[in-house]
Amino acid sequence: MSHDEMVIGVAALALQRSGRLAGAALRRFLDELRAVDGAGSLSINDVLERVGVSRPSVNKSVGDAQRDIDRGLALGIAPVSMSSARYPVSLRRIADAPPVLFVRGDMALLGKLPGVAVVGTRRATPHGLMIAERISQYLSDEGWPIVNELAIGINAAAHAGALKGKSSPIAVLAHGLERAGPAKLRPLAGRILEGGGAWVSEHPVGVAATSDSLVSCHRIQVGLTCASVFVEGTEKSASAVHAEFCHRDAQTVFAILPEAGSKVSTASALPKMLVDRHGATPIFSRADYPAMLEAVARRAAQLRAVP
């Protein structure tokens, strides 16, 4: 991580915490800094002066931000602000993109985004788990990173499938990256890092998960991907929240619907609703995978073309 990236990360976190600059205004300011990030000569005072904030007025926030970022760096957690060339283009496009993204693991994965989310219920069926693992390995082998929340059920199966493929996955967490949660999935989270993958979060070290941050995970997932595949779930499952962010941000959506008469049985209420009401593309069998791959590539090309 460059000197300027660290300085801007500290300043951005301090401004956000102090309330002196946040939300859309902070995102615009960081976007304007893209031209100077990398010069190697910035100081925190320089960044604050550019936005008209005096150092004494945010000194405590600066100190706290510096400590949190230093703690993270000691654990291999790097801040990537919107001013950085490494900040994912697909994430930058969403209206409420996080000003700073924290990354633990292989930073080079950010350059391979957007990826694909393979999502579904925590109360997964055996067939749903099998499909999630299989389709994730297929996408991974074709060069698409799987970007999923770290959650039991379909999301965990998707990560497991991606680890069998050629492209390392990215886990989106709802808290600081000092360790992964839930505890049951820590072995899987460790395998993601060991396998060349990464964990990402909008939260610095020391921040615990909340109901709101768990919801926001879906927003980050959608921002880091070009498509979402819904394997199974009810219309009121947590995956329905992911579907809302997909609709908001014009995400390409696929839905698993086993063919009539098939022996495959999944909880298909949510996928069926997405096809019937929101125009999701159904996937009936493995024969539909190549067409899905073509649509994913088209959408990714559109996102990468955005300046």
pLDDT at 39: 59
Domain boundaries, the chain: 3-87, 110-304
Residue 146, classed as helix, strand or coil, is: strand
Q: What is the pLDDT of residues 182-228, one digit of tens each?
A: 999 999 999 999 999 999 999 999 999 999 999 999 999 999 999 99
Q: What is the pLDDT of residues 121-160, one digit of tens each?
A: 999 999 999 999 999 999 999 999 999 999 999 999 999 9
pLDDT of 101 higher than 60 = yes
Sequence-ordered list of residues with C-beta below 8 angstroms from that of 35, at least 6 positions apart, any chain: none
Fold of 110-304: Rossmann fold (3.40.50)
pLDDT of 119 higher than 90 = yes
Tally of helices (H runs) and strands (E runs) in the chain: 12, 9
pLDDT of 114 higher than 80 = yes
Q: What is the pLDDT of residues 44-79, one digit of tens each?
A: 999 999 999 999 999 999 999 999 999 999 999 999
Computed over every residue of the chain, the mean pLDDT equals: 93
Question: What are the angstrom distances between the C-alpha of 254 and each of 34, 122, 273?
Answer: 35, 19, 12
Nearest to 150 by CA among 179, 110, 114: 179
Q: What is the pLDDT of residues 220-257, one digit of tens each?
A: 999 999 999 999 999 888 899 999 999 999 999 999 99
Q: What is the pLDDT of residues 269-291, one digit of tens each?
A: 999 999 999 999 999 999 999 99
pLDDT at 135: 98
Q: Do the strands 198-201 and 170-172 form a parallel or antiparallel pair, or are they unpaired?
A: parallel
Looking up tokens 């990030």 gives 37
Residue 80, classed as helix, strand or coil, is: strand
Instruction: Find the mean pLDDT for residues 93-99.
Output: 93
CA distance 113 to 291: 20
Predicted TM-score of the model (pTM): 0.94
- Token pair, residue 162, equals 């991606």
Detail the DSSP E strand segments found in the chain. Answer: 77-81, 100-105, 115-119, 147-149, 170-172, 198-201, 225-230, 252-256, 281-283
Q: What is the pLDDT of residues 22-37, one digit of tens each?
A: 899 999 999 888 866 5
